[in-house]
Amino acid sequence: MRLLVLGGTQFLSRAVAAEAVARGHDVTCACRGVSGTVPDGAELLVWDRDDEPPAAITEAAWDAVVDVSRLPSHVRRAVAAVPDAHWVFVSTINVYPDNDIAGTPATLRLHEPITDDIDPKTSPEAYGAMKVACEQIVAVGAASSMSIRPGLIAGPDDGTGRFTYWPWRLDLGGEVLAPGSPDDTVQIIDVRDLTGWIVDSAESRRTGTYDGVGDIHRLGDLLAQAAIGAGTDCTFTWVDQEFLAAQEVEPWAGDSGLPLWLPRPEYDGMLAHDPTPSFDAGLRVRPIADTTRDTLAWLRETPDAVRTGLSPEAEARVLAAWHAR
Ligand SMILES: NC(=O)c1ccc[n+]([C@@H]2O[C@H](COP(=O)([O-])OP(=O)(O)OC[C@H]3O[C@@H](n4cnc5c(N)ncnc54)[C@H](OP(=O)(O)O)[C@@H]3O)[C@@H](O)[C@H]2O)c1
């Protein structure tokens, strides 16, 4: 297969290019080449998608395209340049506005599309609505296409550092601040499982729209499995969300945040998408313990790896306040 990866210099799109090379495909990564390197065996074709595509893109015959863009103008320009290929577009579960409801692509409503580019840094809430527009551009303009809407992507090379917090924290051992309730639902997707499915789907020209999500877990079970993967002995102290909020602990991300924790009931559905249609379409996911073990191994060999979440001092302060309440 002659595969065009739009991206290829970081995390997911780089992993897709690497997996396709490993399977013997002819892989070109088109991007600016500023976020990192493309994997060994893939060709870098320099293209700033703010500009018109180079002839090397428009004049070549591509079997499949994988695109991770967030900007409608970038997707519009690329689809117009490569309309005859099979497209696999990487979207997001942020296309769904109702985070309190669990469901599938067939049951959940979408944001109204935003078809103009809005800088995601100035307007993070436009992210999902622009992805809706991007999906529609691909569905209308490409010969055949699939859209995959991932939830939280975890694993080695994650530049957001969200799931990474947990392998790092569990590895420290001792008393661990566990957020919310052990019965809260949680869901991740290992980047390597998502990558394998994306390349499978490019190869088989799979069509349709799917969530890119793994099994639904209780948070208590996920952390227990993660502790096994990290090979550590720790105790969990569950602190309810009202107390965390009073201590100015943020949900999800950030230096004062706790990843995998989202306020309830507002986010009851966001980490509980039914993965059955995706599993039926070939997605296979590995155990949480394996993702944790491999993320920890990557962290140990990558001193500049990004990790979000509370510092040990901040965590100790909240735990002390909890015990003193
Ligand atoms: N992380 C998560 O938990 C999560 C959850 C749900 C969905 N997603 C989706 O998963 C995908 C992740 O993709 P990713 O890990 O590859 O990272 P990404 O940040 O989405 O994509 C970055 C790629 O786009 C290229 N790029 C950026 N600006 C460009 C420009 N002006 N011209 C050409 N190329 C440009 C970058 O290359 P250069 O900078 O080198 O040009 C890089 O290779 C995204 O679609 C994201 O929306 C992520």
- Residue 124 pLDDT more than 90? no
Which residue intervals of the chain bear CATH 3.40.50.720?
A: 2-150
**Of all atoms in ligand 1, which is nearest to the CA of residue 90?**
45
Q: How far apart are CA 224 and CA 307, in angstroms?
A: 20
End-to-end CA distance of the chain: 62
- In tens, the pLDDT along 138-182 reads 999 999 999 999 999 999 999 999 999 999 999 999 999 999 999
Q: Which CATH number fits domain 2-150: 3.90.650.10, 3.90.1410.10, 3.40.50.720, 1.20.1260.10?
A: 3.40.50.720
Q: Does residue 180's CB lie within 6 angstroms of at least one atom of ligand 1?
A: no
Q: How far apart are CA 225 and CA 290, in angstroms?
A: 9
Average of per-residue pLDDT values in the chain: 97
Q: Does residue 9's CB lie within 6 angstroms of at least one atom of ligand 1?
A: yes
Token pair 């302060």 is at which residue? 317
- In tens, the pLDDT along 14-29 reads 999 999 999 999 999 9
Whole-number pLDDT of residue 261? 97
Whole-number pLDDT of residue 121? 81
- Residue 207 pLDDT more than 90? yes
Q: Whose CA is nearest to atom 43 of ligand 1?
A: 7
Q: Does residue 16's CB lie within 6 angstroms of at least one atom of ligand 1?
A: no
Sign of CA dihedral 144, 127, 215, 103: negative
Ligand 1 center from residue 322 Cα (angstroms): 39
pTM tops 0.95: yes
CA separation (Å) from 109 to 91, 117, 132, 265, 297? 15, 22, 11, 18, 39
Phi then psi for residue 137, to 5 deg, are -60, -45
Whole-number pLDDT of residue 125? 86
Q: How does residue 122 score in pLDDT terms, banded at 50, 70 and 90?
A: confident
Q: How far apart are CA 9 and CA 35, in angstroms?
A: 6
